[in-house]
Amino acid sequence: MYARQGRKNMKAIVDCNSFYCACERLFKPALHGKPVVVLSNNDGCIVSRTDEAKALGIQMAGPYYQHRKEIEAHGVAVFSSNYHLYGDMSWRVMETLRRLSPSVEVYSVDECFLDLSGIDPQQLHAYALYLKQTTEEWTGIPVSIGVAPTKVLSKVANRLAKKDKAGTRGVMVLATAEAQREALLKTAVEDIWGVGGAYARKLRFFNINNGWDLRQMSEDWARKQLGGVVGVRLVRELRGEPCIDMKDPLQTKKMIATTRMFGKPVFELRELKEAVATYITRAAEKLRRQHCAARTLQVFVVVNDPAPSYEYKPSSSSAYITLPSATALTHTFIEYAMPLVEQLYRSGIRYIKAGVILGDIVPGDSVQFNLFEPPARLQEKQLMQVIDNVNFSMRNDMVKFAASGTRRDWKMRQELRSKRFTTRWEELFEVH
C-alpha cells in the first residue's frame, strides 16, 4: 500500500543545517569545522549552533551569559543575529529550489516543502541528492533533505538525515512501509512534528514512546486524546496518508505582526511611541508588498517590573481599534496607534518589548476611496510606493516618519553582528 501511495504522493522538506551559523561561515571560511553560535535579539540566548558547538555541550536556547565561560575557553565564534544577511541568503536558497522543483512551499526562513510526486520512485534518492548538491553549490548553504509520502513523515526523514550526515549523505527517503517503520521506531514522540511538550508527556503516560507506537493508535483514540481532528490528521500522516496539503505560495497572510525586544528597558512615553511607530512602518511595508490593506490595528506592550528584584516575570497588555476603512498607509496607522500607546502607558513602568498586529486583511484593490476627499489624500498610495522604493534601494530607513524618532536608543543590541555582506554596498564581501 505504501509503495503505491509513494508513487502518487511524495513530498520533501529541505532544511538548512544550522542556518544562521552557516550564513556566518559562508563569508568566514576559517570557521569551517570550528564551533560557532548565533545569539537571539539583544544577544540574550543561543538560537543557532554548529555540530561542533553541540559537542561541547552548549545548549540550544541557553542564556549566553551562562555559557560564556565555556564559549571563551573553547574559542567558540559568537555572532549577534544578522537578519539582513540571513533573510537574503534564505531568499537565495528558496529561489534556487524554485528553479529545480515545480512546487515549493516556504515553511520558515530555513525550511521549505517540495512536491516530488512527478519523480520516478526509483530516482527519488538520486534526485534529492541532486537538489542538495546543487543548492549547496549555488548558495554555499548546507542542507538536509527528507522525502516521504506525507509532510510529517518527511520531517521524520529529515531529522534522521541530519543526525547521521555521514551515513545518509544528508538525504533520507521513506518510500516503503519498512523504511517508514524503521524511521518511526528511531523517533521519540517528542521529536515528531506537531507533538508539543504537554502532548509528549501525555503520550509517554500511555506508554507511547516513539512514532511507531503512535502510528498504531486508532483514529478514535487520537480524536479523544490529541485534540480532535488535529490528532487524527497526525496519526494518518504517520501512516503515510497525506492530510496536510501543500499551501499556495501566493496566499496572503491573515494578519501581520512586527515585534522586538528593546535593547534596554524603556521608561519614557516618547521612546515607546517611537518604537511602535517604527514597528508599524515595518508591518505596513509587509502589507503593501502583498498588495493588501488592513482594517484592524492592535498595539501591545510587555513589561517586567517586579521591583526591587527585577526577576524576569513579564506581563503584557494591549489595545485594539477598528479603522473606519481598510488602509495600507503607514501614517494612517501611526495616527491611530499613538492614542493606543498613550492608553497603555504607565509612568515609571519598565517596558522591555512592544509590537503591533495588523488584522482583518483584505486585497488592496478592493478598498473603495472616498470621492469627497481632497486630491492629496488620493495620491498617498503613490507616496507610499515611492518611500518603499527609496528605502528598499538605499536601505537603513533613508526616508522615515518623524514619529519613529532619530536616535532610537531603545533598539535591540547587536554588539557582535557581522557585516551585511549581500545587502549593503558599503559592507560587500571583499576578496584580496
Distance CA 103, CA 373 (A): 44
Distance CA 43, CA 345 (A): 26
Residue type, 313: K
pTM of the prediction? 0.78
3-state helix, strand, coil in the chain (%, to 5): 45, 20, 35
Per-residue pLDDT tens for 274-289? Answer: 999 999 999 999 899 8
For residue 170, the SS3 value is coil
**Angle, helices 124-139/83-100, rounded to nearest 10 degrees:** 140
Sheet holding 315-327, edge to edge: 256-266, 351-363, 292-303, 315-327
For residue 105, what are the β-bridge partners? 113
Residues 6+ apart with CB under 8 A from 379: none
Residue 4 confidence (pLDDT) = 41
Report which of 344, 348, 262 is spatially closest to residue 300, judged by C-alpha positions.
344
Distance CA 114, CA 87 (A): 20
Per-residue pLDDT tens for 317-346? Answer: 999 999 998 999 999 999 999 999 999 999
Q: Chunked in runs of 10, what are the mean pLDDT values of the chain (432 residues)?
A: 52 96 94 93 87 92 87 93 91 95 90 92 94 97 96 96 92 95 96 92 95 95 92 94 75 79 86 92 90 93 70 81 92 94 91 92 72 62 83 73 77 78 82 76
Determine which helix (DSSP H) or strand (DSSP E) holds 248, and give its type and residue range: none
Residue 2 confidence (pLDDT) = 37
Residue 366 confidence (pLDDT) = 65
Q: Which three cell numbers stand for residue 43?
A: 544577544
CB-based contact 26:140 (threshold 8 Å): yes
- Of the CA atoms within 13 Å of residue 254, those in its CB half-sphere come to 0
CB-based contact 259:301 (threshold 8 Å): no
In the DSSP assignment, the letter for residue 63 is B
Residue 1 confidence (pLDDT) = 33
Question: Prior bond to 308 cis, omega within 30?
Answer: yes
For the chain, which domains are there?
A: 1-250 (3.30.70.270), 256-404 (3.30.1490.100)
